[in-house]
Amino acid sequence: MNNKIQNFREERNKLNERILAKENNASIMKRIYGLDTFAYMERGTGLNSKQKEIIGLATSMVLRCDDCIKYHLEKCFELGVANDEMMDIFGIANVVGGTIVIPHTRRAIEYWELLNNERPLPSPFDRETKEKRYKEVTQSLKSLLEGIENQTSVMATINEVLISSIPYFYWVGFYLAEEKHLTVGPYQGTHGCLFIRYGEGVCGRAATTRQSIIVKDIQKLNDYQTGNIGKLHITCDPRCKSEIVVPVINRNNKLIAVFDIDSLHINAFDEVDKHYLEEIIKIYF
Ligand code: SME
């Protein structure tokens, strides 16, 4: 990965953790971070994530915060903002903010091009890097979620921490177990399907069997599935190439949700992901 991108991501994560680890200011900062997550979260009404990130980017440019600009460029990239859309964002930010925004636009175009040159997408990590990153994620969650009981806040925070720390994650979210079907809950990424029937798709099958499922190559599964065996996989975003779903079973042994992660990369998930994701779910539900 390009050094500028890697340094930015690592420094941001490391320093965020240091802020959150300081107990005397933790409660205010934690709330501010939580509010930030909430503000950009897609909630099924109002603006979608991509629109929110575009606003976040334009306003960060007008306020001339290079770190904020980089962060929103990354999110816009993940959410599929196209080059000509990006040029419109730059244009509007410069019209509103004036020519003083031009130097920030220079740095923004450089970072945007670096992100685009990163294609093909970031590969899944090797085993060692995966384990290291999951341990860091587990540690961040521990400091962020201490004493938090609200299930939605826990789900939203897990989503945010994972998607911003693990580059091969593209869609991360929960489907809630309701009487008749699974209903989409907190998630980060492009539009999720709103309902999934029990027994259908990867999520519905993980819910029924109460077992984690890894799909290494979604296309192969789609090619294999035929009308008479029912839906083994449900396509929400055709760009997704592999998927893992972990059932969320609470301490009373009740299935309350499934935790679904998609990647744009074939074969992104393995036993290491399964192990750590199941651990995270066991800790918080
Ligand atoms: N692919 C899932 C549907 C949910 S989306 O991936 C967000 C499935 O087959 O259950």
List C-alpha distances in Å: 125 to 176, 200, 205, 267.
29, 30, 27, 11
Full-model pTM: 0.60
CA of 19 to the centre of ligand 1 (A): 35
**Could you tell me how far CA 7 lies from the centroid of its own chain?**
20
CA of 26 to the centre of ligand 1 (A): 36
pLDDT digits (tens, 9 = 90+) for 12-69: 989 988 888 876 666 888 889 889 988 998 777 889 888 999 999 999 999 999 999 9
Residue scoring higher pLDDT (14 or 126): 14
| Architecture of the domain made up of 3-117 | Up-down Bundle (1.20)
Is the predicted pLDDT of residue 154 greater than 70, yes or no?
yes
Cβ(193)–Cβ(163) under 8 Å?
no
Nearest protein CA to atom 1 of ligand 1, as residue:
234
pLDDT digits (tens, 9 = 90+) for 243-276: 999 999 999 999 999 999 999 888 899 999 999 9
What pLDDT score was predicted for residue 12? 92
Among the atoms of ligand 1, which is closest to the Cα of residue 236?
5
List C-alpha distances in Å: 160 to 40, 137, 157, 276.
10, 11, 5, 16
- Residue 120: is the preceding peptide bond cis (ω within 30°)? yes
What pLDDT score was predicted for residue 21? 82
| Separation of alpha carbons 100 and 154, rounded Å | 40
Among the atoms of ligand 1, which is closest to the Cα of residue 192?
7
Q: What is the CATH number of domain 127-284?
A: 3.30.450.40
Lowest-confidence region among 64-78, 109-123, 155-169? 109-123
Which segments of the chain belong to CATH 3.30.450.40? 127-284
Among the atoms of ligand 1, which is closest to the Cα of residue 171?
7
| Separation of alpha carbons 196 and 175, rounded Å | 8
Q: Is the CB of 196 under 6 A from ligand 1?
A: yes
Q: Is the CB of 192 under 6 A from ligand 1?
A: yes
Which segments of the chain belong to CATH 1.20.1290.10? 3-117
pLDDT digits (tens, 9 = 90+) for 161-198: 999 899 899 999 999 999 999 999 999 999 899 999 99
